[in-house]
Amino acid sequence: MMRALMVALPPDMPSLFDTLRFDNTFLAELPGDPDTGARRREVRGALWSRVTPTPVAAPRTLAVSREMAATLGLRDDDVASETFAQVFAGNALLPGMDPFATNYGGHQFGHWAGQLGDGRAISLGETVNATGDRWELQLKGAGATPYSRSADGRAVLRSSIREFLCSEAMHHLGVPTTRALSLVATGEDVVRDMFYDGHPKPEPGAVVCRAAPSFLRFGHFELPSSRGEVDLLRQLTDFAIRRDFPHLAGSGEALYADWFAEVCTRTARLMAEWMRVGFVHGVMNTDNLSILGLTIDYGPYGWIDAYDPEWTPNTTDAGGRRYRFGWQPAVARWNLVRLAQAISPLFAGGEALQAGIDAFGGAYTVADRDNTARKLGLAECRDDDVALIRDLHGSMQEAEVDMTLWFRALMDVDIDAPTLKPLEESFYDPAKREAHGAQFDDWLQRYAARLREDTLSAADRRERMRLANPKYVLRNYLAQEVIDRAEAGDAAGIGELLEAMRRPYDDIPVGGRADSERYAAKRPDWARDRAGCSMLSCSS
């Protein structure tokens, strides 16, 4: 039933084999590397390389997304089986799996980096589920590939927990994202220098199985273009439209223009969603942006606690702050311009590409204004409402106000007698609250006056705000607490935190737990400057 790599598998439930059916169109329809194996090399004229995951010593399943498992048609006894752990650690292959790593380049921190590729990710194959939806299953941390350069292709437990949790948390928030199926401990240590400061140490290893309809990135198009491989670029573009954008019709430049415009508008809507919930990606290189407009590659990401558009969670970005919270829409546009340059050989002129870039700006403005209306509980966003929320953001930054708590509590303000009382918990510094109190009082009066002239009823306004302003987000300190527990041998916290993230807009206790309110609390003082809570590195 299955091809073993390094281990003998127990004869457990066969439905894993019956449910996951692979067609692997990426390999079937696009040119690949004639060489095989993980030897580091430059790969030209090809979009993928076959490579086998490196087996691990003692795989153990730590967590599974029940929603993603159900989407794939997997049952509870499937995911609880030893076979599941072996397959999704990279120790065994199911029939139809044909592992590969893809070849792409990218601009990193604004500079062209040449060939990059899947250095720690190995795709097992593309499966089509019972409803006809395509899911590419990809192991992150499953060993070296031709694109690993000097790295080992492994991943540590801390970064794997963060990727697993955030992939699913973003899904439940309604933010377009790649997904996570499973988190498997390897039973092996991985040596990492977490902050690149000359202090490497062994850490427990893990493998995440992530899933997406497509893992194609801007960088997949940049690399063949940079090498003058125009035929390969055209093949890839035609394939991406055929497989991932089947609703687009037409041919030639008109079809390419429609496709690029949709990539731009999807990216714009994604940026607006990040800004709505307070998510900071941390490393928005062109190889980390998806052509489907999905959040991809959860590395040194972070969540805004005290509102600060200048904050970046990435230690590598601490100097220039290129990827800071407030700059994300501008960086996305910059990246789209790089994508436009990459596919320009497919166009006779630049007008259609400029139209796509313009579409990004228009789509972002529409989405951002819609978010403003929803977060403030308004039927629509007028021009003066843009100024209203801009003034609020300025005051929040000055007074160190928690973004998530403020907007969640805003729906409790009495519009007939507005005061700061429902919002007091969102301030980190009581002295700053006092110093800026008059400023906020004035803003609340303006806000209440605006609500009194709005067309929404009080009940409709509250519901609109509830669904736009999450109560639970994956704050860095919550993830770090879970990581600390898991590294000490207790992985139960992963599932507990995921349970809270499953219903981010609800007020009811998470899973009936009396202590669930702690998942909605603001960052504690101990986490203000702690590694993993305030800043993170790209180390994985």
DSSP readout, 362-410?
Answer: HHHHHHHHHHHHHHHT-SS--HHHHHHHHHHHHHHHHHTBBHHHHHHHG
State residue 66's pLDDT score. Answer: 96
Backbone dihedral angles phi then psi of residue 335, each to the nearest 5 degrees = -65, -40
Is 535 within the bounds of a domain? no
Query: Do residue 22 and residue 88 come from a single domain?
Result: yes
DSSP 3-state helix, strand, coil percentages of the chain (rounded to 5)?
45, 15, 40
- How high is the pLDDT of residue 2? 44
CA dist., res. 459 & res. 505, Å (int): 16
Shared domain for 225 and 211, answered yes or no, is no
Note the Cα 472 to chain centre separation in Å: 17
385 tagged catalytic: no
CA–CA distance, 248 with 262 (Å, rounded to integer): 10
Q: Tokens in use for 107?
A: 């601009």
Q: Are 177 and 60 in the same domain?
A: yes
Q: Is residue 83 part of a domain?
A: yes
- Residue partners of 57: CB distance under 8 A and separation at least 6: 186, 187, 188
What's the confidence (pLDDT) of residue 200?
Answer: 87
Q: Is residue 367 domain-shared with residue 417, that is, in the same domain?
A: no
CB 217 within 8 A of CB 296: yes
From 421, 440, 466, the end of a domain falls on 466
How far, in Å, CA of 3 to CA of 125, rounded? 14
Any domain includes 76: yes
The structure tokens 């590395």 sit at 299
Q: Which of 413, 435, 466 is the last residue of a domain?
A: 466
| DSSP letters spanning 97-121 | ---EEE--EEEETTEEEEE---SSE
- Around Cβ 362, how many Cβ atoms within 10 Å? 12
Residue 539 structure tokens: 């180390």
Query: In the 3-class helix/strand/coil scheme, how is 273-294 assigned residue by residue?
Result: HHHHHCEECCCCCHHHCECCCC
Q: Which of these three, 421, 447, 466, is where a domain ends?
A: 466
Check residue 511 and give its pLDDT: 56
Whether 23 and 87 map to the same domain: the answer is yes
Position 314 in a domain: yes
* Same domain? 489 vs 508: yes
CA distance 372 to 389: 7
Phi/psi of residue 48, nearest 5 degrees: -160, 160
> Is residue 197 domain-shared with residue 290, that is, in the same domain?
no
Residues 80 and 60 in one domain: yes
Domain count, the chain: 4
Same domain, 462 and 499: no
Closest CA to 292 of 207, 163, 123, 179: 179
Where residue 37 falls (left for φ over 0; alpha for ψ -120 to 50; beta otherwise) is left
In a domain, 356, yes or no: yes
460 and 424 belong to one structural domain: yes
Clarify whether residues 434 and 413 are in a common domain: yes
Provide the pLDDT for residue 4: 43
From the list 33, 78, 258, 287, the catalytic residue is 287
Measured torsion, CA atoms of residues 69, 470, 283, 263, in degrees rounded to the nearest 10: 70
Q: Is residue 206 part of a domain?
A: yes
- Show the domain range for 514: 476-527
Element (H, E) at 479: helix 476-487
pTM flag (> 0.75): yes
Low-confidence ranges of the chain (pLDDT < 50): 1-4, 6, 8, 13
310 in a structural domain: yes
Residue 392: per-residue pLDDT: 98
Q: What are 486-511's pLDDT values in tens digits?
A: 999 999 999 999 999 999 999 876 55
Does a structural domain hold residue 227? Answer: yes
Q: Indicate whether 161 and 233 sit together in one domain.
A: no
User: Quick check: 96 and 22 in contact, CB under 8 A?
Assistant: yes
